[in-house]
Amino acid sequence: MIRFKDRESAAKELRKTLPIEQMRTENWNLISVSTGGLELAYNVNKRLSLPLDILISASIVAPQNTECEIARVCETEEMVIHDVLCDSFDIQLDFVYAEAIRKHEEVILPNMYKYRKGRHFESKKGEVVLILDEASETGLKLMLAIKAILSQQPKAVYVAVPVLPQEVLDAIEPLVDDIFFLKEIENFKETPCYYETLECVSDETVKMILKKDNV
C-alpha cells in the first residue's frame, strides 16, 4: 500500500507528475479544498510562487447519522448533493437546502473572516486552475470545487491528488482537463491510512500560508 511520510513528502512526489514549466508559463492558480490540501498545495508551490488560495466549504450530514456526509456547500454558494444517500435515508431536499444556509452562516462566513478577513473567493474566469487535496474519500469536496470553478468560466481546470478511489477518479475525469495522481485505489480506506503523519493544520498555519502567498 502506498504510504507517505507526511504532506510535504506527498507533495514532492506529486510534483513529479505535474507539468511544472507549463504551470509557471501559464501562471496556474492553485486552489485547495481543505486545510490539509492547503498545506500540500503550499509544498507543491515551493519555488513556483503561483497564486494560492483555499475554497472554503462545509459538510452537510444526515440527521440520523452525523458521520455520514450527504452534501456539501461552499462559499460561492454552490452545492453538491449525494442523491443516493439522501434517498436511502429518505432525506428531503428542503432539509439539505436549509442546512446549506445554516452552514454558510455558521461555518463558512466565520472562516472567511478568520482566514481572509472577509475577502470573497476571487473569480477564476479565463484562468488556469489546479484543484488540490491531500486525498479524496467520497469525492464531494473535489466535485464541489470543480462545479464552483467551472461556473466561473475558467480557461482550464486540472486536479491533483496523491491518492484517490477508483470511483472518484471515474466520476471527475470527464469534468476536467486532466488529473494528476500517484495511485488510484479500488478499496480506499480512510485518508490517514496513506500517511505516516497527518497532523491537523492549525488556523495560524492556514493564515500564514495565505498571507505568505499574498492571497
The pLDDT tens digits along the chain (215 residues) read: 789 999 999 999 999 999 999 999 999 999 999 999 999 999 999 999 999 999 999 999 999 888 899 999 999 999 999 999 999 889 999 999 999 999 999 999 999 999 999 899 999 999 999 999 999 999 999 999 999 999 999 999 999 999 999 999 999 999 999 999 999 888 899 999 999 999 999 999 999 999 865 44
**What separation in angstroms does the CA of 66 have from each of 59, 61, 74, 136?**
10, 5, 19, 19
53: cell is 488560495
10: cell is 506527498
pLDDT at 1: 74
| Sequence spans of domains, the chain | 7-54+125-212, 57-116
106: cell is 455558521
User: Residue 129: which of 116, 145, 144, 143 has the closest Cα?
Assistant: 145
Cell numbers 462559499: residue: 75
The CATH number of 7-54+125-212 is 3.40.50.2020
For the entire predicted model, the pTM comes to 0.95
What does the longest C-alpha to C-alpha distance in the chain come to?
50
CA angle (153, 34, 141) in 5-degree steps: 55
Write out pLDDT tens, residues 62-89. 998 888 999 999 999 999 999 999 998 8
pLDDT at 215: 42
Q: Beta-carbon neighbour count of residue 93 at 10 Å?
A: 11
Three-class SS string for the chain?
A: CCCECCHHHHHHHHHCCCCHHHHHHHCCEEEECCHHHHHHHHHHCCCCCCCEEECCEEEEEECCEEEEEEEEEECCCCEEECHHHHHHCCCCHHHHHHHHHHHHHHHHHHHHHHHHCCCCCCCCCCCEEEEECCCCCCCHHHHHHHHHHHCCCCCEEEEEEEEEEHHHHHHHHHHCCEEEEEEEECCCCCHHHHECCCCCCCHHHHHHHHHHCCC
Write out pLDDT tens, residues 14-37. 999 999 999 999 999 999 999 999
